Structure 1
């Protein structure tokens, strides 16, 4: 054990590509008269659901320095007890890693990706001890060109991207640096950020340089120079937003590319992304902004902003969590909602996209909230608190019963920003709230209380927004979006949907005349009902999730013709539907209603007022 500089050391290798197995040896060179307790987290920060990562440990055993097997008793689903020892111990275990997501671990022949929460057992009584890690290069021939992408600090002359030795200050740092092993492209760029301080604080440098790398694994055909240029502008915007020395010197956008997947998860100095390679821009698309690429930039913007706003500024209850069980907080609307507001707006502020593009995306966000019937039943603080069960374990009824703290939180952030600007006569904005959170909490590692936003706005800024704050956070009243946007030169317009794929944000010359009220997918015969919204024609007719809808007034249905047939009939018509439900044929009657105006797009009435908001210039 003497070859390891840390008393707790992990050696990791990809044991089997075909079997999707990670092999780990945990070296413990610390005596214990009572025996060590080992544990694996039950959840990963940023994803509020119990995932029980320990279930993926398929083999585990322990031995002393002479190789004598030790009794390893399992206490519960995620902890093990080692016997008392006066000498070094090795714990060998194997992990089944086949979850293609940003939250867990995944091994296959193109790359291996894993989070520390899925991989590294904690020595409970020594969580504050430094942790050494040795990453072994896989022996399989197809891995000859593999290398390492992580922001773990290197050790023992190991270079960035090399297999070898890494070192974390403690267990919490160890599990907050995801690791990618494989073949990948590196797109480097630097951001030099001048600090806008007058006068400069004593000893504070006039500029800060952060080194970034976009890691692209899985193969692509993208215009990497364009991506680097756009990401540089976005990252510079976020640095300027907080107007302080950034808490990072090196940052990785670790991106796994597939045919259709999507995901992002924030970490201390990196983010793990899962994205469709075909949605990255090609050189042939240099003259416009494809929707899929705009979404990728928004995802990067979102996760990078979390470097401050979640990873450092965070609720006190999350700061103290050991990840063994749920940590409940009503504050997620602040951390995900505010971030969701800034992720898209930052594209416009940094001129990566234009103002019309931002208003289109904002219209889509407002459309999602408008169609979310559950906003009339659940408050945004309740949604935050119940994220563990209701938001992260949604069923077909979710649209009717819960509200997204991402979406409603973003719209509350929009309203707060505009309210603060108006009430302070444009001397303050939500940017000042973000900077206050950073200076008084994130920067000095003090968790936030549940009423932190009220404290800042009502007490620190002395703005009379008590009524708005109460209604937005603790009632189901609709937010004053339309009137606030009108004050800043933007009109909110509503129209019916064009089709089932209409997400809003744009005007339309042709819309659907009738309201159906159910979502569906193709079946061999007819369609399968996947969701039914309350108080709609489909709901009142008795359609249920799982029904196989076959015909409408004697017309055979398909996934492509259902709405065309439905719209053929005038409002108030009674239509006969035949459905298969649990292998029995049912006849239902559906009465047509006029289409709802539940799709939103925005138009500009006064460009000067709009730019006063989006250009971020205050008096």
Structure 2
């Protein structure tokens, strides 16, 4: 995806040799003459008043007039990205920028904002300084934040760029608030210069978040690679155990591809009340979890699952990637049909890695697989939107759900996780246990990341999968990936001696299909399931349910409906936009399923052997 070499920041002198000739060589014009010294960009990041939630950025540009065409045009355009890789939504980072100014030789230079994320600086000077402030008061893995306790930088929302300077080495100088001593980042530190880092290009800078404060750090080595964990937030944990379990997860993840591409790796972990997930980067990740993440075994295992997911991204998506996901266009959407692979199959691997590392028993892993299938099959949108469509529409639907989303969409995370399980099984059974999905990822890593140094197309991925499986995978791609048709799950599970069984109770209770929220004693419909009684008979999102059959409804809607039979009619009185309406509703059959994986009868020796290989049972 991006270059992973660490280039030194050099000022390289260009020397031109003019061949001897009795005829004078044509004289180069100013526009044609290469710059005498290569251009350079340095960012100085400070936060002198962190309690105000402002970062201050000084962007120093050296020897850039020729490279940026400023000498020819009399101006250059500086831009702010509108999104960050790994989070597929236009976030309009420029909305947080203020006080943009430019100067050259210590004197102000005229500038103006020309687009939502671009500023035009009117100068032909070779060297100039740009200054601006960034308001940062949203602590997520994809936005920047600073307060009296710490600072966190999402580089896409902090550092500006010029198109012509994206591929040159960059330098970042962090000036921590006076009371802070620590900086954590995947950027390469420059020896002998405190808080000074380098990046081979702007892509690598964007891919390297920065944590600044007094966080605690600990270290471990996994797969012969040094790892650093930066822990922000007051939290109780056993450092020795946590470091050992990080190591187990990371080493199990490294066995999938079999080669670790990093020289070092950094985890930035925020312990905050709501938690919040993670975001992957080339040689680092940011994780957000709750302060009780280590308090119980269940919470602890969920956290390790998050660790496995984001860590595995250093292969799947950062290096093994669809062609659309790098190099990036930071001003527009970057579309792909394969987020089900990049994100969803990473979700598959997060639990598969924990199984291989010994955190999940075989039985626990089977329960997780069945639960994933239950989740997608209970969402009506799984029959409307394919995994490929879900991936493509991430920019407008995935991050912008509404009250009808469950009826019309399916998450490329959840559907992709199931597809990862099925593709793994398809390859395993087709190769008689000789290969699995690991072999597919190794092929993609070797061919496209290492050899061709690019991503792969949809067609190239399919051909690679079929090559590893040794057969056509029309059933998987034509149905599982590219359509919303029902999947024949047992065709995948039968070769390993298992079957998927719906164990939902055969209830005769009628089903309403309206979810509600209760506030101040009022029960208001928040969503209506497609095909349900509420959907068919006209209950709407936003309706306040006053009563059922004349009995007042507060927080006991489910109790009032339970015990009634399929086909029973109820009269629902609602307040809709200030008007009372009585709506007759005929209760329908409960459509929800609950799946479990069970052994087939009379398992064969071949099935038992494949089962053991599938679940890494020795």
Pairing partner for 1:137 from 157, 176, 184: 176
For the residue of structure 2 that corresponds to 1:80, the secondary structure is strand
Q: What is the alpha-carbon distance in structure 1 between the residues aligned to residue 380 and residue 251 of structure 2?
A: 38
Pairing partner for 1:177 from 208, 217, 225: 208
1:173-212 equivalent positions in 2, closer than 5 A: 173-191=204-222, 193=223, 209-212=224-227
1:327-406 equivalent positions in 2, closer than 5 A: 327-406=334-413
For the residue of structure 2 that corresponds to 1:220, the secondary structure is coil
CA-CA distance at 1:461 after TM superposition:
5.0
| Aligned counterpart, 1:416 | 423
Deviations, residues 25-64 of structure 1 (Å, cap 9, x unaligned): 1111124113332111111101111111111102211111
Q: What is the alpha-carbon distance in structure 1 between the residues aligned to residue 153 and residue 98 of structure 2?
A: 16
Deviations, residues 352-383 of structure 1 (Å, cap 9, x unaligned): 22122222222221121111211212221111
Say if 1:513 and 1:231 are closer, same or farther in 2 by CA, change over 3 A: farther
Q: What is the alpha-carbon distance in structure 1 between the residues aligned to residue 486 and residue 219 of structure 2?
A: 44
- Report if the CA contact (8 A) 1:316-1:447 is conserved: yes
Pairing partner for 1:69 from 96, 108, 129: 108
Q: What is the alpha-carbon distance in structure 1 between the residues aligned to residue 237 and residue 289 of structure 2?
A: 13
| Aligned counterpart, 1:86 | 125
For the residue of structure 2 that corresponds to 1:61, the secondary structure is strand
Q: What is the alpha-carbon distance in structure 1 between the residues aligned to residue 364 and residue 475 of structure 2?
A: 32
| Aligned counterpart, 2:526 | 530
Q: What is the alpha-carbon distance in structure 2 between the residues aligned to residue 226 and residue 585 of structure 1?
A: 60
* TM-score normalized by the length of structure 2: 0.87
Q: What is the alpha-carbon distance in structure 1 between the residues aligned to residue 531 and residue 469 of structure 2?
A: 43
| Aligned counterpart, 1:505 | none
After TM superposition, what 4+ stretches of structure 1 lie above 6 angstroms from structure 2?
3-6
| Aligned counterpart, 1:112 | 151
CA-CA distance at 1:553 after TM superposition:
2.4
Q: What is the alpha-carbon distance in structure 2 between the residues aligned to residue 165 and residue 60 of structure 1?
A: 24
- Report if the CA contact (8 A) 2:248-2:357 is conserved: yes
CA-CA distance at 1:552 after TM superposition:
2.1
Say if 1:318 and 1:213 are closer, same or farther in 2 by CA, change over 3 A: same
1:487 aligns with 2:495: yes
- Report if the CA contact (8 A) 1:412-1:479 is conserved: no
Q: Which structure has the larger Rg over C-alpha atoms?
A: 2
| Aligned counterpart, 1:37 | 77
CA-CA distance at 1:226 after TM superposition:
2.6
- Report if the CA contact (8 A) 2:430-2:470 is conserved: no
CA-CA distance at 1:616 after TM superposition:
7.5
CA-CA distance at 1:151 after TM superposition:
1.3
CA-CA distance at 1:124 after TM superposition:
2.2
- Report if the CA contact (8 A) 1:268-1:307 is conserved: yes
| Aligned counterpart, 1:233 | 248
- Report if the CA contact (8 A) 1:495-1:597 is conserved: no
For the residue of structure 2 that corresponds to 1:457, the secondary structure is helix
CA-CA distance at 1:23 after TM superposition:
0.5
CA-CA distance at 1:434 after TM superposition:
1.0
Say if 1:604 and 1:558 are closer, same or farther in 2 by CA, change over 3 A: farther
For the residue of structure 2 that corresponds to 1:10, the secondary structure is strand
- Report if the CA contact (8 A) 1:571-1:592 is conserved: yes
- Report if the CA contact (8 A) 2:510-2:563 is conserved: no
Q: Aligned pairs, how many?
A: 569
| Aligned counterpart, 1:201 | none
Q: What is the alpha-carbon distance in structure 2 between the residues aligned to residue 600 and residue 58 of structure 1?
A: 53
1:165-564 equivalent positions in 2, closer than 5 A: 165-191=196-222, 193=223, 209-244=224-259, 246-278=260-292, 280-282=293-295, 285=296, 289-290=297-298, 292-444=299-451, 445-459=453-467, 461-496=469-504, 513-559=509-555, 561-564=556-559
Say if 1:577 and 1:168 are closer, same or farther in 2 by CA, change over 3 A: same
| Aligned counterpart, 2:613 | 612
Deviations, residues 269-325 of structure 1 (Å, cap 9, x unaligned): 1111111111x223xx4xxx31x3222111111111110111112122221322110
- Report if the CA contact (8 A) 2:250-2:308 is conserved: yes
What is the root-mean-square deviation of aligned Cα atoms in Å? 2.2
CA-CA distance at 1:403 after TM superposition:
1.7
| Aligned counterpart, 1:151 | 186
CA-CA distance at 1:526 after TM superposition:
2.8
Pairing partner for 1:127 from 140, 143, 166: 166
| Aligned counterpart, 1:574 | 569
Unaligned runs of 5+ in 1: 194-208, 498-509
Pairing partner for 2:59 from 21, 26, 36: 26
Say if 1:558 and 1:293 are closer, same or farther in 2 by CA, change over 3 A: farther
For the residue of structure 1 that corresponds to 2:324, the secondary structure is helix
Unaligned runs of 5+ in 2: 1-8, 12-38, 66-70
